[in-house]
Amino acid sequence: MRLAKAAILLMCMQLLLADAARAGSGGVINLPMGVKPKNGLRLDIDTRWIDANGYRPVRVTATNLFAGPNSPDRSIRVELSPRSWRWGDTAPSVSFFIEIPETVRQVEQTVSIPQSDQWGAIRVEVYEDGEELKDLTAEASLSGRNQWNWWSWSEATPAILIVDSDAPPDAERRRRMSMPQLSSPESLGVSDVNHLPDIRCLAALYPDPNNNNDLSFLQLKSETTDEFTLQTIDRIAKVEMLPPGELPRKWIDYTCFDLIFVTFDDLKLLVNENPDRWQAIRDWVATGPTLCVYDMPLDSQHLLELEELLDLPPMPNSEDDTNEWRGWSLPNENNASEEIRELDGLYQTMQRNRGIDQSSLLDVLLAAGQSQITPKPDETPFVSRDVDLGRVFALRTNEPFSPGSYGIAWLLNEIGNGNWMWYRRHGMSLHRENSDYWNLMIPGVGRAPVNSYLVLISLFVVVIGPVNYFLLRKKKRLYLLLVTVPIGAGLITFSLLNYALITDGLGVRARLRSYAQIDQTTGRAVSWSRQNYYAGLSPSSGLRFPPDAAFYTVEHHPAERRHRRNSNRWLVWDEDQRLTSGYLGARSTAQFMVVQSHKSRRGLSILEPDGQETAPRVTNNLEADIAKLVICDSAGQYYWAENIETGKRVQPQQIEPSEAAKRLRVAYDVNRPAVPEGFDPRYYRSSFGFGRMWWTDVDQSLRPPGFDQGVLERNVQNAIYTDVKNMKPRTYVAITRTSAESPLGYQASQEEASFHVVSGRW
């Protein structure tokens, strides 16, 4: 019997290894393992996803073996606790409920789990009616850790999703992956099966330091096949290829990706047949990354069709018959290069450690022959335009990943690392030091009560010393010094503690810095916010963010504190994301970067002037008090207003663009992030720092992270310094006193020294 159970367990582990047929890490866990279900429940947990910062969608399928007309509804609570493959590192644990109606046999649910490192194992605990279901409780190792790029978790190399209707569904893909790993196309015995794009050039973006510059396994001189493409993707931890029907339905599940590639025909298919999945991608690109639509004719008609698919307004002068590109931006040929310039620093690290450099890898690629290299195009190869805070590129080629000066390197150089480098786009790192962590502190928090201490200690010295002595001596009771001195010291200490308690309070204080863009014509809004919280007492309900918001914990030294802070962090998924424990402790600060993309009814109601009035009438429907507002009406005239309460209507005054920009800059300069006076981050580092961890040096040769580089600060500065002088008709820029679109983690928190910028179109 024991041998039979061992054989069954071994078979389950082999199935788990076979199921890791996707890029990145993870696997499929089938519970219970090797035994008959005791509670009539079976769980299948699919954790496969790419290895990159963001949310990992974990697909959980619950099967009720007792389903029937007379069976009761079942509600189970599932707890997932991932653990990094690095010893001692843990990810936040996640808890959620699965409801199984009485007549339903199987329910599938996807839960989004934040990740910042590769998962090596996961613990599963299942409860029903408060009782643990022990046969469904297990800890499993996660297979599928790639030999290709597993050595580091670089926040600089782009994570890429390729959406292709020719990509096989999961079951078929696993069957194809059962063929010998990375066999040459000739040895697979297949031909004319090349429907997927050739992604072999991407191997140069993700070099294997243990393999030096040996890319011979890619068979660059051979014709590729779909099986070979899938096997190559399986070796690259940050590239994934999925058919439209297997794409996630929530935009936060795409936060691991920096670029998404899809053909023009597949995009139309996705919009028509999978509108919910397309909406998730549309919300994703609105937050700042890049969507690349390839294999499409570049002419006015097709660009118009693409704009309609993306629900984009026409560009200025787009209807001009002489404007072939409808106002889209043309590429800069100076960016055409065989090398991706922004990755030079990463290759410097590898060259120092392993003797690898970008040029040697590219030489291997280019040695495949001129037929593999994209020639200089006779026509414009691609054009681009903004999509809210992100960007879309329309490409003429049907092979967007080809090498050479006019291939993938030109495209990435044109996009710019501010978009496809995760840490540059977010302005922060989940691995490296965030040196400007301290420039958004809540005023007064953490400051020692020096003056109060000096006053109280001076009174203590005077009263408990000479005054106390002379009074007791006068009454001839000097022996009471043994009583009065401790009592006086206790009173002074108690007074200092109460002063600090009253000053900091018992509630939650918050300081936010946010940017929101509202398109009232489509009802779409996207926001970025950096949020700092201080709790006198930790709120019992924790923090709460909506399901369509992605949050990232900001740490001064995240890699060095992870094993201390993440081990007790719990995220509960219900209607929202509830950060129940481990995120905000009593008398401590917690900082987050929060990104939201959703539908919104907020905005300004603007009634433009008719023949009898000289200025528009503005009603504040932002649900936040407006401190300063500048409007550009349909005629291109600028108007200014201040101090507009929520729901109030005002009539702004006409103003010159330069004067409006000047006034907004004054408000911006007053609210620049700055380290508190008298605080030295270097002293904090030397006093409270931890030892460096070797693996945090992966991106050290690159520019350090900084919030001024991210989408948030770039758009705040553009709105204040650039856009005001060049505002388009029917747009506005507002500075609000409280958050208009950025969700607060604790609604009852009191905002202090916050700065919110809102730009909109009506």
Mean pLDDT of the region 387-412: 87
Helix boundaries (H) for 186-288: 226-235, 264-273, 275-286
224-233 as b/e: b if 16+ CB within 10 A: bbbbbbbbbb
Mark whether 220 and 72 lie in a shared domain: no
Mark whether 343 and 413 lie in a shared domain: yes
Mark whether 132 and 262 lie in a shared domain: no
Mark whether 94 and 203 lie in a shared domain: no
Mean pLDDT of the region 537-549: 92
Mark whether 324 and 226 lie in a shared domain: yes
Of the chain, the percentage scoring pLDDT greater than 90 comes to: 48
Q: Is 188 part of any domain?
A: yes
pLDDT-derived band at 213 (thresholds 50, 70, 90) equals very low
Cβ burial, residue 34 (10 Å; 0-12/13-18/19+): middle
pLDDT at 10 over 60: no
Mean pLDDT of the region 14-23: 49
Last residue of a domain, one of 141, 170, 196: 141
Mark whether 227 and 267 lie in a shared domain: yes
Q: Is 288 part of any domain?
A: yes
366, 373 in Cβ contact below 8 A?
A: yes
Give the pLDDT of residue 345. Answer: 62
Q: 41-64 pLDDT, tens per residue?
A: 999 999 999 989 999 999 999 999
Q: What is the CATH number of the domain that holds 60?
A: 2.60.40.10
Q: Is 359 part of any domain?
A: yes
Helices (H) and strands (E) in the chain, counts: 18, 31
- Distances in whole angstroms, Cα of residue 275 to Cα of each of 157, 177, 271, 551: 30, 30, 5, 25
Q: Is 249 part of any domain?
A: yes
Contacts 24+ apart (CB under 8 A), 335-340: 335/410, 335/413, 335/414, 336/405, 336/406, 336/409, 336/410, 336/413, 337/405, 337/409, 337/410, 337/413, 338/362, 338/366, 338/403, 338/404, 338/405, 338/409, 339/409, 340/205, 340/409, 340/412, 340/413
pLDDT-derived band at 303 (thresholds 50, 70, 90) equals very high
Q: What domain count does the chain have?
A: 2
Mark whether 166 and 136 lie in a shared domain: no
Q: Is 178 part of any domain?
A: yes
| Maximum Cα interatomic distance, the chain, rounded to a whole number of Å | 111
Give the pLDDT of residue 187. Answer: 54
pTM score, whole prediction:
0.87
Last residue of a domain, one of 107, 141, 175: 141
- Of the listed ranges 354-368, 483-497, 650-664, 716-730, the one predicted with least confidence: 354-368
pLDDT-derived band at 544 (thresholds 50, 70, 90) equals very high
Q: Is 122 part of any domain?
A: yes
Mark whether 192 and 279 lie in a shared domain: yes
Mean pLDDT of the region 719-746: 89
Mean pLDDT of the region 89-110: 90
Q: 460-493 pLDDT, tens per residue?
A: 788 888 888 888 888 888 888 888 888 888 887 7
- Of the listed ranges 446-460, 540-554, 643-657, 696-710, the one predicted with least confidence: 446-460
Mark whether 88 and 26 lie in a shared domain: yes
Distance CA 605, CA 73 (A): 48
Q: Is 17 part of any domain?
A: yes
Mark whether 168 and 131 lie in a shared domain: no
Q: Is 332 part of any domain?
A: yes
Nearest alpha carbon to residue 636 among 650, 656, 653, 611: 656
Last residue of a domain, one of 391, 411, 426: 426
Mark whether 115 and 235 lie in a shared domain: no
Mean pLDDT of the region 306-327: 80
Mark whether 134 and 86 lie in a shared domain: yes
Residue-range definition of the domain harbouring residue 41: 2-141
